[in-house]
Amino acid sequence: MRKVADILQHLHALTAEDRTWILGKLTAPAKALLLAAVSDEQSPAAPVATTASDAPSLPTTLAAMRVAAALKEEPAWLAAAVLEGATESWITDVVERLPTVLRSDVASIRRAGPTFTPSARQTLIRLFLARIGQAALQPTPSRFHVLLERLSASRSRKRLTLHL
């Protein structure tokens, strides 16, 4: 466990970009080990988007006609994933403007329920927004990143108190 604490301390000393790059290269078991170590040291983190109400969705300020025009050539699974989480009235406005076959397929997929994780849907939404020329949503940090940031903040506070 001492090695894990050393790794976390080294990660803390790096810039955010370097940390992100290194964490992206870690295997799933290595990330799990670090997450377990951070969880042992920290209290529960701030809420992360895991519930349906916190999940990412398209901004409903976009014109339904514009969204439908961008989705009309896309596969039904993509249209359903991008629309998921928005208000029903707005989704209805968008779906009514889709071609009949696509409209039917999207309705079937939506009845089956969500099939993407919030982070996968967030990635799809960011790509879709970029395609239609809108500002992308900020990515929701994973539980691992939230815990790592909390660890970094607590280490900084400890250093501050020690030096004062």
Q: What is the pLDDT of residues 87-144, one digit of tens each?
A: 889 999 999 999 999 999 999 988 888 778 888 888 888 888 888 876 554 556 677 7
Tell which residue, 130, 129, 111, 133, has the closest CA to residue 57: 129
* CB of 116 closer than 8 Å to CB of 81: yes
Does the pTM of the predicted model rise above 0.75? no
Angle at which helix 88-96 crosses helix 64-71, to 10 degrees, equals: 60
pLDDT of residue 149: 80
What is the chain's alpha carbon radius of gyration, rounded to the nearest angstrom?
20
pLDDT of residue 42: 46
Residue 74: helix, strand or coil by DSSP?
coil
Whether 163 has a pLDDT exceeding 70, the answer reads no
Which residue is listed with tokens 């929701």? Answer: 140
pLDDT of residue 155: 64
**Token duo for residue 96:** 């009514």
**Token duo for residue 143:** 């539980």
Q: What is the pLDDT of residues 17-63, one digit of tens each?
A: 777 778 778 777 777 777 666 655 544 433 344 444 456 778 778 88
The ranges assigned to domains in the chain are: 2-48+141-163, 64-131
pLDDT of residue 38: 63
